Amino acid sequence: MNDTILRHDWRIEEIEALLDLPFNDLLFRAQTLHRAHFDPNQVQVSSLLSIKTGACSEDCGYCSQSAKYNTDVEPERLLPVGR
């Protein structure tokens, strides 16, 4: 596997081989790639921000944001742009 090239031409067999790796082997390979291209002592942390909580007009049965269900979520207005 060439670690220096971003690929978009993965074959199904290659993807399945990655998915079949034991978790620790997959973690090791990911860490090896990270160390090759980034400072190994730094990790980017991202977080999700709900720009609107509750009172959504959509009726998605799996989502606690929908106004159609009682989820005990306190509705909040849509965040302003740029926040």
Secondary structure of residue 3 in the 3-state scheme: coil
The amino acid at residue 6 is L
**What residue segments make up the domains of the chain, in order of their start?**
1-44, 47-83
Which one, of 19, 24, 17, 20, lies nearest residue 1 by Cα? Answer: 17
What pTM value is reported for the model? 0.45
pLDDT recorded at residue 1: 43
Measured distance CA(9)–CA(32) in Å, rounded:
21
Secondary structure of residue 8 in the 3-state scheme: coil
In this structure, the number of other CB atoms found within 10 A of the CB of residue 71 comes to 13
Measured distance CA(52)–CA(79) in Å, rounded:
6
- Give the tens place of pLDDT for each residue, 10-57: 999 999 999 999 999 999 999 998 898 889 888 888 877 666 666 677
pLDDT recorded at residue 50: 66
